[in-house]
Amino acid sequence: MDWRQLWEIMSAPDNVPIIALIPLLAFYVFLAWRQARANDLLIEQLEGNAALAKTHHRKAWPFKPGWQKEVHVWPFLLRVEFLAAIIVTIILMVWSITLNAPLEEPANPNLTMNPAKAPWYFLGLQEMLVYFDPWIAGVVMPTLIIIGLMVIPYVDTNPLGAGYYTWKQRKFEISGFLFGFIVLWVSMITIGTFIRGPGWQWFWPGQTWDHNRLIYEVNRDLPDIFGITSNLGKGIFGAIVVGGFFVLGGFIVHALYRRYNPKNYQRKSLLQYSMLMFFFLTMIALPIKMLLRLLFHIKYVWITPWFNV
């Protein structure tokens, strides 16, 4: 194991943001969970005591005696913002002095980089190119991500959790966000940064990046495993598999959602609920497709003359 290789990757100037992203993300998730836990305990306490709920405060950390009841913009907010601006400026100055900008020579078609990686914030899209057609990974999936983020306010009918942190009152919403952002997006960025090496091959952390490494793996399509050879048969078989995933997965998610979120289920219209199920199942399909490729070397499930999934 060559851990110097891992250190070279971690210390590269364009990978420093990812090194900072991981502990900062863990810290803020813990901070949010801590505040949500305190609010959930307070909500549970007030729900069990109606007399206390009439007179008790509604915040986990109420104002203490001696605190000012009115917090003015000056000096409280502006002072904190000014100090934050100074600290961020100092960090950026030290960063720019100690680390060189990740700029290289002009592109030379006769001498290409290996591996050629996109900026860290696009590595998730580049990693998806391994599992999907280029136009699906580069156009369809990013479009679905943007549209999915846009429709959240229209499909989220849960009135609880507005203005305060909570976990018990928004388990499904928070779980969906953490799954989509951390489990999928951040993990794919991490894979593209630390694990993908020359030839975009899989190198575990500490494993030497060998540019002459060859892996003899035969990727097959799912219809080939079942002996389906005709193009029409592959298209029909893939449509049945993908459609079956959405039908069966939708039935399972529907049963769980209706059981554990009955009030939110009743608030949603048919259009809202259909959009929620579609985007949620599409999000689940991504790691399933990745596991099929990484574990079973299945390249495509649905093959047509126009697209492959």
Kindly report, residue by residue over 256-303, the tens digit of the pLDDT: 999 888 888 888 999 999 999 999 999 999 999 999 998 899 999 999
pLDDT digit string, tens, across residues 220-247: 899 999 888 888 999 999 999 999 999 9
Q: What span, in angstroms and rounded, lies between the C-alpha atoms of 284 and 223?
A: 22
pLDDT digit string, tens, across residues 150-161: 998 888 888 888
Taking Cα atoms as reference points, which of 119, 141, 103 lies closest to residue 282? 141
pLDDT > 70? residue 190: yes
Three-state SS at 76? helix
Quick check: bond before 134 cis, omega within 30? Answer: no
Q: What are phi and psi of 303, to 5 degrees?
A: -120, 125
Q: What span, in angstroms and rounded, lies between the C-alpha atoms of 306 and 9?
A: 38
- pTM of the complete model: 0.82
Average pLDDT over the chain reads 87
Three-state SS at 136? helix
Q: What span, in angstroms and rounded, lies between the C-alpha atoms of 2 and 120?
A: 23
Count the Cβ atoms, other than its own, within 10 Å of residue 123: 20
Report how many helices (DSSP H) and strands (DSSP E) the chain contains, helices first: 13, 0
